[in-house]
Structure 1
């Protein structure tokens, strides 16, 4: 994306204000860490409690399917467009392709992001595509591609899991054939404590801690409940291998709970559609 020429630029040699907030951020992470040592989260949630979820489909009229998902303060909007032929493709492909785009708005976080794609966005885009490919009946779109765009309006943690859930809802809203409904949840591990649906500050704490002998990091798991299939598993940090069964089982249980909410939303949308037809 081009640079915004209408944005007022600071004088040459100016220092961004967020650099002066590093001490404040460190103090905030220190406060969260001390609260976790007392088995209390900063937002007063239980360790296994997810944030409240707000779901809305059909928010973009120009797209074939779209969805808006709000998980706490994390806000993600996803759009899906009609299948189209793959440009400049000579060989015949039996399965269709997914073209995913994952983009943060410049105002999505405290530190203003750039307009061009960075390494984090490319990594999240690849993980999003890997999660969605097993859920879509790509054999129905031979030599075609489906465009999926994800835009993060605000990032307050668990952004990849929220984006995967939003993309699954957008595909259903666009009547794209799928094997099953796909959902995703995430957790953070801080000194062997499992934090379900971590906030941005909790993720920063989990990824910045390097305590010897302690497990710290984040995990994202995408899941199809009816097929009992894990479509994507992404882990960052250093964790004890013996904790693997525990946090995988926790994520699967949270995905099953999220699946019930997604199915309820889809049923309400279908009932409203037929009600408007009559």
Structure 2
């Protein structure tokens, strides 16, 4: 039987390698080693290094890309433009946010269809950005924000909040303040700032724990010290929840200069590009 020389011979079906890997749930429940450090060598209150760059998508009006070690998120902003007529009339602008986890972003391959996790993340980002954006500056218009998680190694929602805020600012949209996101995992008496995917809260891994086991995500406007969004999973006592909130806000204040420096570099780069084009003409 003749063979097709242009076709690569290979199996008709493939399976991901993680399917045959045994999952060690016991290792995931031990969050801090005997030396007081986490599995990646960080202290419980230590954050991962952050890389942030604005203006990475030339076709979008504003864009940003953020890395928190192996957590990678990119965001694009389009508009403002006139929204669809079927929506109600409003003299204030509207934000429409869409979050998508890439199919290859997690250990288990995701679906192309939008799931509940993505819808919830989009709603949180929209609610967090609405108090920060001057919506009255573009009446009867809509601003589209598209967030894509390229790789999820934990704290994806916190990184997406910071990335979306930087993209909106890069688009030249007037804002009262930037929005900085941060996540924390509470495991008994241990607080883990900026948790990885193995350190994130999973109810199925927590047994016989009625309280003080959960995760908190905070969106903060640092200049005016206002919390624009707060998401909590699990059960936390009131005093522990206040302590977690305080720690997250302090972490957001530390991230704030990084975003400011990123936007400053983006503006300087655009000015150099404009000066070069004017010189050539």
Same fold (TM over 0.5): yes
Q: In the alignment, which residue of structure 2 is the partner of 1:261?
A: 258
Tell me which protein shows more helix as a share of its residues: 1
Report the CA distance shift for 1:204/1:16 in structure 2 as closer, same or farther (over 3 A).
Answer: farther
Q: In the alignment, which residue of structure 2 is the partner of 1:124?
A: 121
Q: Contact 1:188 / 1:206 at 8 angstroms: preserved in 2?
A: no
Q: In the alignment, which residue of structure 1 is the partner of 2:28?
A: 29
Q: Contact 1:190 / 1:205 at 8 angstroms: preserved in 2?
A: no
Q: Contact 1:207 / 1:236 at 8 angstroms: preserved in 2?
A: no
1:84 to 81, 84, 87: 81
Q: Any residues of structure 2 matched to 1:207-218 within 5 Å, and which? A: 208-218=205-215
Q: Contact 1:207 / 1:217 at 8 angstroms: preserved in 2?
A: no
Q: In the alignment, which residue of structure 1 is the partner of 2:278?
A: none
Q: 5+ residue gaps in structure 1?
A: 1-7
Number of residue-to-residue matches in the alignment? 266
Q: In the alignment, which residue of structure 2 is the partner of 1:192?
A: 189
User: How many angstroms apart in 1 are the aligned matches of 2:267 and 2:209?
Assistant: 52
User: How many angstroms apart in 1 are the aligned matches of 2:204 and 2:258?
Assistant: 30
After superposition, the C-alpha distances for 1:154-208 in whole angstroms (9 at most, x for unaligned) are 0000001100100011011110111111111111011121100000000045773
2:92 to 87, 92, 95: 95
The structure whose Rg is larger is 2
C-alpha RMSD of matched pairs (Å): 2.1
Q: Any residues of structure 2 matched to 1:195-274 within 5 Å, and which? A: 195-204=192-201, 208-274=205-271
User: What is the CA distance between 1:24 and its match in structure 2?
Assistant: 2.5
Report the CA distance shift for 1:205/1:37 in structure 2 as closer, same or farther (over 3 A).
Answer: farther
Q: Contact 2:201 / 2:214 at 8 angstroms: preserved in 1?
A: no
User: How many angstroms apart in 2 are the aligned matches of 1:220 and 1:75?
Assistant: 17
Report the CA distance shift for 1:210/1:139 in structure 2 as closer, same or farther (over 3 A).
Answer: farther
Q: 5+ residue gaps in structure 2?
A: 1-9, 276-281
User: Given the alignment of the two structures, is residue 46 of structure 1 paired with residue 43 of structure 2, yes or no?
Assistant: yes
After superposition, the C-alpha distances for 1:105-148 in whole angstroms (9 at most, x for unaligned) are 11001100011011111111111111111111111121111100
User: What is the CA distance between 1:224 and its match in structure 2?
Assistant: 0.6
Q: Contact 1:73 / 1:156 at 8 angstroms: preserved in 2?
A: yes
Report the CA distance shift for 1:119/1:126 in structure 2 as closer, same or farther (over 3 A).
Answer: same
TM-score (norm 1): 0.89
After superposition, the C-alpha distances for 1:28-59 in whole angstroms (9 at most, x for unaligned) are 314x44x3565321111011111011111111
1:158 to 155, 159, 184: 155
3-state secondary structure, aligned to 1:267: helix
User: Given the alignment of the two structures, is residue 141 of structure 1 paired with residue 138 of structure 2, yes or no?
Assistant: yes
Q: Contact 1:93 / 1:143 at 8 angstroms: preserved in 2?
A: yes
Q: Contact 1:207 / 1:216 at 8 angstroms: preserved in 2?
A: no
User: What is the CA distance between 1:88 and its match in structure 2?
Assistant: 2.1
User: How many angstroms apart in 2 are the aligned matches of 1:71 and 1:248?
Assistant: 21
Q: Contact 2:201 / 2:215 at 8 angstroms: preserved in 1?
A: no
User: How many angstroms apart in 2 are the aligned matches of 1:54 and 1:45?
Assistant: 17
User: What is the CA distance between 1:214 and its match in structure 2?
Assistant: 4.5
TM-score (norm 2): 0.88
Q: Contact 1:225 / 1:256 at 8 angstroms: preserved in 2?
A: yes
User: How many angstroms apart in 2 are the aligned matches of 1:238 and 1:90?
Assistant: 38
